[in-house]
Amino acid sequence: MSRIKDLAKKNALRIKRKKRVRGSIFGTAEKPRVSIFKSNKYVSAQAINDVEGITLAAVSSKAMGLNVNKENAVKVAAQLAENLKTAGIETVVYDRNGYLYHGVVAAFADALRENGIKL
User: What band does 39 get if pLDDT is binned at 50, 70 and 90?
Assistant: very high
Residue burial 45-64, b: 16+ Cβ < 10 Å; e: rest: bbbbbbeeeeebbebbbeee
Specify the number of domains making up the chain: 1
User: What band does 22 get if pLDDT is binned at 50, 70 and 90?
Assistant: confident
CA distance 36 to 33: 10
The pLDDT of residue 114 is 97
The pLDDT of residue 61 is 96
Average pLDDT over every residue of 27-53? 94
CATH of the domain at 13: 3.30.420.100
- Give 2 or 97, the one with higher predicted confidence: 97
CA distance 52 to 50: 6
Provide the whole-model pTM: 0.89
pLDDT in tens, 62-113: 999 999 999 999 999 999 999 999 999 999 999 999 999 999 999 999 999 9
The pLDDT of residue 43 is 97
pLDDT in tens, 50-60: 999 999 999 99
Residue range(s) defining the domain that contains residue 74: 3-115
The answer on pLDDT for 1 being more than 80 is no
In this structure, are strands 93-95 and 54-60 parallel, antiparallel, or unpaired? unpaired
